[in-house]
Each structure stands twice: as structure tokens, then as C-alpha cells.
Structure 1
Amino acid sequence: MLTTHFPRRSLADRQAPETEHSVAVWRGKLAPPQLAFEAVLPRLAEVLLRSAVLARLVTVCAPPGYGKTVVLQHLHQTLVRRGQQCAWVALDDRDVSVNSLLFLVQSSLAAEGLSGDAPGAPSPMDDSRHTVERVLRLLERLSKPTTLFIDNLSYCTDPLLEPLLERLVFSGPSQLRLVFSGVDRLPFDVTRARLELSAVELRAAHLAFDRESTTLFLKRAHVLHDATTVQRVQVLTEGWPAAVRLVQILMAETDNPGAVLEHFSGSDRDVADMLTRRVLAGLDVERAAFLLEIAPLREFSAELATHVTGRADATAWIADLLDRDLFVFPLDRGRQWVRMHSLLRQYLLAEGHRSLPRERRREILERAAHWHAERGDNEAALEAALEAPAPMIAARMLDRLARTVVGGQGRLTLYIRWVTQLLACGVELSLESHTWYVWSLCFTLQYERAYRTMDTLDHRLAEAAPRGQLGGLHARLGLLRVVVAINLDLMTTAREEAHRWLHDGMRRDPVGIVTVAGAAATAELALGNVDAARQYVLQALSAVTRSPSHYANAWAWTMGACVELANGDPLAADRMLTQARSIAVEALGEDAGVVATLDFVHARALLDLGRTESAQAKAMIGLSRASGQGLIETTLQGFSACVALWDGSDDHPFGPEALDAIARSYPPRALRALALLQLHRLLSLGRARDAQELVRRQLLDLKAILSSEASLHERLIVLRLQGATGNSRQVLEEVERLLRLTVASPREAVELHLLACELHLQADQKDLARRSLSLAVSTAAARRLLHPFMDRMATVGRILAASRSKDLGLTLPDEATLLTQIHERMPSESSEPLSDSADATPAALPEALTNRELQLLDLVALGLSNQQVADRLALSVPTVKWHLSNIYGKLGVKSRAAALARARALQVLRR
């Protein structure tokens, strides 16, 4: 689709003051080009655009030169005339990231009076996908129906564009309509959009000129033509609108239009370049040279063109370009700023590289940089200086822009491109710009590069001034060190940096405290220090009360839940995650990425509690968003639930293929940890040989895992494998040693006792197996930690089927409840009803009995044997007998029965 012109005012008459909006508004980024032409629409496009007026989604996809922008401008004009609210965004090659798209969308809405909120930079709590949530939240606040136009969407190459478009198109706000254009197929399910939304698609075939369109186009341009001429144009151009327009220009310049076509044939390989050369050949030498000189400028005005070229005729020449519609178009309502069509500019740039002296090109761009800087347009000045290149000018502009572009607008990818170009020129960044560079690398997930850049910056800061004189920079950099170390899985470094940052005596903002304390908790968890992790979580939760960030809130509670899960307390984790999710959904919406992270961790808690169906639903939600989202520790909690729910088949949703692909988007430790979880599951399924094959396939170093450096959880998995493959005696000795010497968390203690139970049963040591099971139940009961028993149901079921309730010595209410839950999940033929435990009334404590003696007496009253009492109180059997002897003496009796009778008479039993 192309246009023909109407009579125009002179360029001088068209000058208008710049608007008060961002310079992007009057340079074509936030408003459609101001085309005073009547569009020529091919018949197919015309039909589709009639229905597009009411459609919720319109896409226009075609190669360059098919008039996509003009189609969008025509539809925009139609909707505005009907009183509908519209917002416009046009991308170019600088807008490759979703963050840049977010900034432009927000700016466009603000320019239209639809939003006053600035997008801002990413929070330290954000992961990359939160940018999608920020775009959606912005659009959900629209107060009235709005059509959002995004022109040249193909320039955005961010991987996040696909999930953003999927969310916008299929679950976006009901008051939002969308119109997109691009060169390539847009990254969302277009077929689904046609079926569900009756989306309107315009492609190259719809925009190509047929004979009728070409005839009308030539007629409106007042070009003499007949049917033969039209047919010849069709054959030459194959209906490509850009080529038709170029032919029209050539024909308009001669009294014999038909002769223009005589020298062309269908065999010409590059019609666009050929016709462009012919058009430019019709210009005088000075005017053609002027076009080559201004081509490096993305946009230009008569004033700017005159200043940079020194040509007094620049104003008249630009007016002539506009009047002849020579592939240039105005960007603002006052038609002060002009841009070339990309086809013309690309040709001129290529020609300029061959014929325009390098010194002249640099002079023009330096002048442009100074001109923009004097008028406060630092971004345009920086772009021109980088193109020149003029490194010193560019460095000054970068210093002016760094905080605004990164900290205020969140256009991180653009800033990284600027810095990369500047560094290639050999310029050393200022400390401020260098710090914002590290920030940008961090939050575009380029952690290795950020780590190297921070090292350089550290040396510069050390040389520049003592720490106290650059406190702000040091604080910002310290936070980034923690973020980078966590994401590179450098847990010892993360712990040390976090400790230093939290205890350096400087005042910190709450979001920063949550970020660093949460990272420290993550590091301590990864290093196996659950108690230390808990302290950092408490610090993060304290800061959350002073933070306005909903992401910070969710992050702190998620880490708190991970600590409780590591400690074997799914009840506490369930409470935390339920509360955090409710707050997050209310503030951010059900589809927010952080909600998926909460659900993934919650799946582990629900599975531990025996709520398998709920756990599976949560795991599916979390898994769908888990790739590259969150941290290893939160992801591993979800993985542990998925693997425990895996039935061992290859095609299961939680099978190795699905999970391995996600694990590869994290540091290598994730894949290794996942392999160990899968190994554990295979052993639970009775597939020891498959487990051994997994070890070989994943190149797991079992000796290294059994070293003291590995976590107790990982060592237990390897010990279980060894026990299942013929080394049960040695493994049992190691387990008993760990039980004696290791300070284990409750979860680890349960796993240790269950492994001992499994090994004793293999050795036909039924009493010892029963005792180990009793200890495991006793440890897990108060926390409702059920799943470890389900994971070993074959072993647990055999013992329970051959045991009476009193044989296990489990009489406390929590123990009875957990044992009932285990029985309920056993095959019916193995179940055995449990006996009820009697209540006891506490009495006053006589002075003659110590607290330890009263505690022991209570356990004796429950029917526990000396061995069971010893296990419960972590004492040896001789010590228990010694305490009993003292109790007998104080009560004046000689047996257990008499002691209990005397104690009840004195009302000293507390149960």
C-alpha cells in the first residue's frame, strides 16, 4: 500500500514549536507519521481493514516496502476519527528488548494522558520475566477501551517477547485492542488467535498491488498511462508497492512515461537498488550529495540539516523531497522533523560508504552531536557521537544519560550497546557509568560478563578513593556482587559478600536488605546451614514490613518456606506460602511469574503433607514457568516434588526429558542435584539397576558426594544406592556413625532413621528396623512430615503389618495422627487399627524430683521400654536405668508399676 500526495504548504509555513512531551513524540516513536496523502489500498487489504476496525487483534506482516506503517497509520486515523482512544509505539533497531518496549508503551500512554506511571528500572527482586508482568500491569490499569499500535515489532528480538505477546493476545485486559506490524511472522500462535479472537491478518499478498491498484495509483499521481503500461509495471514490480512507487517517480519526471520501462526486464535481480539509482540520477549533483550527507541521521530537520552540511539550500531541498514524496515522510504534526524510508536510507548509506569521505561523514555526525547536546537531546547526541565516532563527546553524553536510561527507564540493552561501542573506541568509563553498566549486565542475566566487569570496577574504586568517600557506589556494587554470585552459584562468595554488605554500618533501603538477606539465606541453605539461613530469613522478613515491593515480600516468604522445608516442617512452609501467594495474587495477578515460583515451592510442602493432588497441580503450574526463572534453591524444591511424583516412565510430564531441559537453564549444580533426586526416585521404585545406569550417564562422582563437602541429603542418597546394591553392612555402619555424630535437621534425621530401617530389614533385624521406624515417626510427627514414609512404603508397610501399636511406643497425639495417615495410605490388607492413647492430667511437681526425672517418668507412663526412652531423650540405656533407680528411691518403691502407682497418687505425672 502506498500513497499519493495533495498540495502542501511550504516548509517554512509548516514549522511548529516542539511539543512538551519527550523528543521521541515528535520524532515518530510515539505517534504515527503525519502523511497528508490519500492511501491507495489494494482491494484485499481494503476488505480486511473494514473488519479490522472492530477486531481485537490485527497483524500486518510483510517484507520492507509493502507499506505496513501506512496501513497502521490509516487504521489509526480511522479509529481516532470515530472517537476511539489509541496509543502508538514505533520500534527501530535500537529497541531490541522488552524493557525498551515497556518504556515506549508507558511513554505513549502518558503522552495520550492514559498513564502517569513511569516504568523504572528492574528491581533487584525482579527476574527477567517480571518485565512481562510490568507491561501487563501497566495495560491493566487502562480506564477505557484503548487500541495499542506497535509498528516494526520485528525489531524486538528479546526471548521474552513471545511470552509477552502470548499473554497480551490471549489473556490481556478486556479493554485493550492490539495492532502489530512486523517483517517476520510474529512470535505467538496466530492460528489460535484467528480461531479464538477472529484476528485479522494482513500479509504481503494482501498488500501487493494488483492491476486495479496500480492503475489508480498512477492516475492519482497524474502519470500518463495505458493498459499496456500498467501491465508492464505489474510485470516489472510483481506488485511490490515500493517498486511501483519508484517507477511512478521515474515516469513523472519524463514526458514519455512508457519509455522509462523500455530498458527494464524481469531479469533484473535488485529492482529496488536499480530504481533508486535511476531516481537519484535525476537529481543534480549537489542535491544528490546532500542526500548522501544526511543519510547517517536517523531523523533530521531543515535546521539540523543546514547546520551539519553547511548547505544554504538544505531547507528548500527538504521541502522539495516532501513535495515530491521522494520516500521521506514527516514525523510530527508541524512537519518539522523528517525521516527517510528505510529502503532509501539503506541505499544511501551503502553508497555513502563508497563515495562520502570518512572525514566528511565524521564532521557531519560530530556537528549533529553538538547540535543535539546544545538543545538538551542527550540521547540523539550520544547516538550521533557513537556513529561518528567521537568518543569524548559520547562519553560525556553517556554520563548524563546513565542514571536516567538505566535507573529511571530500564532500557538496559540499549545502554549496554552504547557502552560496548564506547569501550571499542578505547574510552574508559566514568565510575558512575561503569557501575550502571554492571547493573545493566546483571539484570539482563549476563552474570559472567558482570562478574568480570565488577572485578575491573573494584580495582578502579580502590585506586580512586577510600570506601567512605564513594559510599553510594560501593553500596550499589556490593548489592550487585551478591546478586551475581548467587546467580553464578558462587555460594561461599555470596555468603561472604552478603555478610559484609549487611554489617558495614551503612543505612540500607528495605528492598536492598530483603535482596541481600534473602540471597544470604539461599547461600546458607545451599551450604547446608539451615539455622544460619533462618536468621537471614528473619532479617529479610523484618525488612519486608518497611518495603513497598510486592516482589520483595514474595521473595522473603519464599525463602522462609525453603528454610522450613529444609528443616522438615512442611506445615510452617504451607502457612507461609499460602499467605504470600494471597498477597502476591491480589497485588500482581494470578499470572505473575513470582506466583508460579511460590506454587513450585508450595508443591514440595503439599507433597510432604500427603496432599498429592494439590501438589501435582502446583508442580505443573510452577514447571510451566520454571525455565530460567527464580534461583536454584527454589527451583530444586519444585524439582523434588516433580521427581517424587514421577511414575518412572519416559513420557511422564515430570520425566527426565522435561526436567533436564529446564535444569540446563541454571548453573551446573541444578542438573547434578536433579540427577540425584531422580536416582533417589528410581531406588524408591525398586529400580536399582536403572539408578546405577543414571550414575554412569550423568557422570556422578559418588566418592566426591560421600565426602564431607557434600550435603548430608546428597550423601544419604548415595548411601541408599550402595545399600541397595550389596553393601548394606558397610552402609549401616556409616548410617549409625552419622546418627551418633551428625547434627542433622529434622528432615535429615527422618531420612537417616528410615534408611537405617531399610537396612535393618534387609539384614532381617526386625526389632532394630521397628525401632528405627519408631524414631523416624517420632521425629516427623509434630511437623506432619508424611512423604518420606510414602517414598519407602514397601519397607514401612512390612514393618507396620507385623507390629502392634504398642510395639512402636508411639502414643503421643501427633505420633498417633501421623501413624494413622501412614496406615491410610498402605494397601488395605496391611493396615492395622491403632489403639487410642489415654489422656493424663498434669499435677504439681514435688521438690524431690528433677525435671529430667519427671520427663523420664512421663515416658515410662506411656509404656515405653528403657531403649525407647533412651532413644527419645538421646540417652544411653544405662543412664535411663540410673535415673529410674533415683526415681524409685525418691518415691520409696522398687518397680516400674509401683513407681507409676505412687506417682499417680501424688499427681506428679504430667500426662
Structure 2
Amino acid sequence: MRRPGLRDRLDGAMAPAGVTLVCAPPGYGKTLLLADWVEATGTHDKAWLTLDPGDLSAEGFLSAVLCAVRECPVVPGDSKIHDLAVRGARDPATVLASLVDAIGVLRTRLHLVLDDVQVLSGRETFRTLAGLVRDQPRNLRLVLVSSSEPPLPFARLRVEGRLSELDGADLRFSADEVPSLLRLAGVDLTERQTRRLVELTDGWAAGLRLAARSLRDAPDPDRFLDEYASLDRTIADFLIGEVLSRLPRKASRLLRLLSVCENATPALAATLSGEAGAGEVLAGLERENSLVTVHGKDRRWYRIHPLLRSYLNADLNRSSPELVPVLHKLVAASLAEEGHNQEALRHACRSGDGQAVVSLLRSTAIDLLLLGEPDLVLEGVAAAGSAFAHADPWLILFSALSWLQKGEFTEAERALALARGRWPAAAGPALVEFQRLIVSAHACALGKLPRAAPLVHWGGGEGSAALAAWNSVDRAVRLAADGERSEALRELRIADYLAEENGLTYLSLHAKVALSFVEVAGGDYPAMELACEQALALAARGGWRRSPWVPLCRVLLGLARLVHLDPAGALRAVEGTASSTWPMVRFAGELVAATAGFDRGERAVGLDRLHAARRELGDRPLDAALVAMAALTEHKCALDLSRFPLAREVAGWAAGRLGAGRESHLIEARTAFAHGDLDEAVRSLRLLRECEPPALVPTTDVEASLLESTIALAVHRRTLARQALDTALRLAEPAEVLRPFAFVDQGVRRLLVEQLGGFGSTNGFAGKVRTVLTGFTEERAETARLTTRELAVLHSLTSSRQLDEIASQLSVSVNTVKTHVRAIYAKLGVNSRRQAVVAARERGLD
């Protein structure tokens, strides 16, 4: 397979550099890349020498170089190069100097490719090669191809800018390139299978090529990939012949022992092998490019190539199965001592020592869970054995929190019930606090904000840093539910500091979600939107898409975008929430989606979805603020579409759920206004203003002021209307509440435009409202743009003609007219002829 991008990169690097080093382990496609480069750029200025053991001496090497250069087309017949000979010369260095001089007088550039440089040995041979590099003429480009870095002065060349390099990381096939390579071999894998193959081979060309050869005849690609490195004969033969057979026995043994772990330090290598010099062996393997690499900031962690490690590990399990658990136990102890808790627990699970697993879980599970590792903790609980997993309250609670983090509420509740049954008579404070926090998190995940529970200050002890941080998040949610916003924010600052200080990334996600709770309770939608976006970014980076906090963030983000009059953004935010196991999230997600549809012009469909969502909710408990938002939204939509019976039903539902309050009075005022009873509407608004409890929804007071402005205009009290509009702007500005302005009476919108510049401190926000509303109106008009034929049908709908009469008038069939009518209803968001006419007139489409 040709790789033009990599080839062009190689060609571009050669121009400024005198020496190009292509260095990677066997099977990475070094020679193929150079051959493709020669073919693409032409052979006329290329001299190619593939070295072999016969070139080991300085004389043999120089003779081979001379032969290769003489055959290059850019070397003319009268060049002194043809007269040079190594045999019989007193000093090969003199011949080298003459060769350098002869190349230097050539009228064009010459590229000398030396392939398989790793076969060279001997001080004099490398001194000759180093002399060629040192005295290299300006028109000579040296390309060294090797599986290990030769002992040449590369450090000096790097400093001088005379060296360009390609290594295994550069030659590795990317996930985007592998499908093309497989298709050339007649293999077609799914995206998931391709990713698995790339992980197995690490993009190693030889591994991919050998896998493709076997995959052509594999009846089950998934099974083949699971067993590739351990059972495939072709890869085994390659690894043995090209890698392992060339290594000293001590190095092969060390790699075999280290195959139980992904990464190893020299100290860990010494522990597993019992050899004090194991670190030096690893360093030598890395230098020689024997599929061992070093990484990390301190460059002390060594990694064996995944395919080689898989093969060695399978061989170790076959030949010495009794040794494997012992090695895992040693690795677990070593990693735990260095604080690498995740890897330590993984190895402990494979050691077969239940007591060691329990000990590690007791000391690390809380941190691991707040890092976002529920699957690993559940694996540890299972590895501990049923004697511990079903009897130890700590392990049971670890399971409960793990299931909760995975969104498996039934399993979490089962574990909490088991913990109560196994509760010790003298439970310590850490255990008591841990259980309380899990119960509280479970209640929050079900939408039951824990107002009534006592606020506990964590005083330290086992796992104190993690528990203290989590306790601060829990306190913040409780304080926000009780209206103590400033105290809640203070607790979240403490939690943020502790989570960051201890690297508790999952707890940071939890804290961001709690912050969104606090901000929405205070009506700060921009801050809530930012907190949700940060939480979702953390969840995406950590792979915690199934966390119960993710769908909650999505619906809160959707609600914020609705308020900011961004229905398209709201729809994107709540994608996937319909499948949530949490009824409150499903309801809120459908509330956002239906409202966004209504706002985009699908009015009848949107209202029907709101109605269906409320019916599906039934008698399930729901947060009062969400009830208020749902009731206000559905009630307003029903009134806008003259669905008065449905509006009455919503009002009754809200009254039953909320009782008396600002939202109930707003619903009463809207109803009275819609029926022309202005006095009753004014009375209800007055009761709203006098109501003691604050609004459950921050938009309530904004909408009340806009309705007051509408009523004032209806009775020709323009000054009062302007004052009410000014109040609405002042209330809406801090949280950038825009949606209520999009659905006010046209008279209020005209008043806003006419009074721009006269609103004092809210002038800037008033201008923003006008700009946003203009764009919103144009977007809805674009969504509802009717074709010429649909406009003709719409005009006919304003008359009393039947559909067959309209068809006759337009010279089309009745079915065609019905098709146009359905399209008109869909575009205007209505479901009746009368509503279509009204909606068209509202939008100027008639």
C-alpha cells in the first residue's frame, strides 16, 4: 500500500538535512517506504545499498558503497569514482576522502540509501561510516535505514540541524489508513473490529499484514482477533524468527516475565526477574528497537509492543501457569506501593488472592470510584470472592456506588438493601458517612433533593480527602435545595479544590452537575449552561457516558438553551435522554424536545408531545420547579393554539401538584386574558406580585411583566405598558432570558422596537432581544416557507370551499390537494384548517 503523505514527509525532510535516519523495529515497512520514495521521485539520482554480513569490515563496507555509487546514473563515465578501489589501498580513509571529493564535484545531488545498517559491526566500520557523515559534501544526501540506532554522532547532527528522523511512531499505520490496507488484502472489517486490530498491532505493518493474510480465511473475525497474538502461527513464526531469536536468553526470559504487565519500571523488572541488572537489559532492548519502548516524563516506564507481549503472555500461561498469579501478586504490591492504584487492583484481581484484593479495595476503592472506575471496582469485588463480597459492608457499599455510577439503579438499590442487612453493630464514622453519601446521591439521581436530611460535616478518618470532597458536593445540593445559594457555592469551591488536589476527576463531574443545580436554582442560566458543558466535557474525556449525571446535565443544558431561544441547540443537548432509565430525565428531555419543536414552528406536534409526556409521567414524583416549567410551557402553547380544554387540564394538573403560588397565579392570569376577562387577569397578576414564596421558575416574573404590558396596551395605557416592559427587561437581563419575548403580543414587540434607546440601563439588553427575535422570526419563516402551489392551496383554505372544489379550481386531483394540505399543516405546526389560516396570517404567509 502506497502512503503518499508519509512519502512526501520523508522527501520534504531530506531537502534541508544532510542525513536522514529511518529507524524502527523489524516489520515496520522501512524498506518499502524508501522503495516507494525512489519510485515516486525517480532513480536517476539514487544509489541504493542493502548491507549484509559480508560488508562488516571497513574495507567491505567501503567497497560496497563504491559499487552502489558507480551504478547511479548521475555519475558520469569520466568520474574519478570509477578509478577508485579499496583492495590494495594502504589506507581506506584515503579512498573515502577521494570518494567524498569526487561526489562533491558532481553537477547534481546524489542520494545514497544504506539499508539494514543494523548488520554493521566493528569499530573501524562505524568509523568509516562516521567519516562519510562528517565529511559529507553539500550535494550528498545520506539515508540510513536501520532497526536500531547506529553508534554515530547523531546528537551533534541534531544540534546542527543536519539530521531528519522517522521512527516507529511515524511509520505506524493510523486507524484511518488500516481499512485501505485491509481492502487491498481482500479483508473487510467493521469499524469496531478495525479499532481492535489497530490496538492489537499498534499500527505495526508486519502485524497488520500477517493478520490480513489470516483474516481472509477466518470464519469469525472477532474470535480471530481475540486469539490473534496467542494462537496465530504466522505471527508466532515472525516474532520468533525476526525478534526473539535474535535476543540473548536473559533478555527473552525478562520479556516473558514482564508480559504480565503493560508497563514496567527497572525496579519492577528486577523484582519479577530476581536480576539486579534487569533495568540495564530493558535499556539495551529499547536502544536496539526490539519492540520495547520507553515513555513517561521521567522515561522510566518500559512498554513491550502489544503483539509481542500478547504472544509472550500466552506462551507464559501455557508453559508456566503456576507462575502467572505469583507474578501478578508481585506486580500488584509494587504498583500499590508507588500509588498506581488502578493498575495495582487489576493485577491483584488476577493474583487469585482474595485477601489482597480486599485490602486494596479498602484503601483505594473510594478514590477509584471518584476517579470514575466503577467497572474496575466491581471486578475487584467479584475477585474478592463471595465470602467477602456479600458479607463485608464496605465491599457491598463499593458495589452500590459502582452500580449507581453506571446508572443501574435496581442493582444499586439491591446492594444498599444488602448493606443494611449486613450492617455492623459498631459501625465506624467513615462507614456511616460513606453509606449516607451513597443514599443521598441515589436520592438526587432519582430527582429527590435531600432537603430534610441533616447536614453532616466530615471530620476525617479513612478515605478522608475523598469523602470530605464528596461531602462538600452533597452539602451544596442540600443548601441549594433550601435556597442557601451563597453557602452552596462556598461548599462547591471547597469540593473543587479537594477534587483537583487529589485528582478525583469523576467527583469533579459530580461537582459541576451540583453547580448547575445551584445556578439554575438562582436563575443564572448562563452559569448553569457553562457548568453543564464542562460536566459533559469531563464525562466525554473520562468515558462516563452512562453516568446518571450525564442525562441530567443534558436536560439542564437543553432547558438553558430554550430560555436563550436556541431550539436547535436545545434539541442537540437532549439527544439520547429518551432512553434514560430515570423517569424525571425522560420527562424533562421530552419537555425540552417538544418545546423546541413548538418554537421551531411545529406547533401542533410540539403541543401533542408535551401532552403525551405529561400523561406518561402519571403520578410519579417530580421536582416542583420542573412541574412549574412544564405546566407554564404546555399551558401557554395550548392557549396559543386555542386548545382551551387542554389548557384547563394543564391548569388543574399544576394546581394539584403545586398548590397556590406565583406560577399558579400566572396560569390564572393567562387564562383570563385568553377569554377576554382583563379584570380577572389583572387581579391574578396582582395576587402573583403579593405572593410570599418566590417563583419556582426564574422566567415566571418575566412572563408576568410581559403579560401586564400586553394588558396595558389592550386598554390603551401605553405608559403602564412601557413600564411593565422595562420591568420584564430588567428581570430578564441577568440570566439572558429571551424566550418569553418571542411569544408576546405583536403590540409589545412593536413597543420594544419603538422605545429602543429609552430603556436606560437595560438598553443594551433590549437591543439584543430585538436582534435575537429578528433572527428567530426569520428562521421560523424559513422553516415554514411554502411552495407556490402550497400558497395557492392555503389561499383557497380561507374560503368555504371543500377540498374537491379546490382541486377542481386548481386543476389537480383531490389527493394532490390533500398532500399539499398535510405539508402546509406540518410546516406551520398546526392540525386544523382554521389554525393553518391563523398561523399563516401571523407569519405574513397569506
Report the TM-score, using the length of structure 2 for normalisation.
0.46
More relative contact order in 1 or in 2 (CA 8 Å, sep 6+)? 1
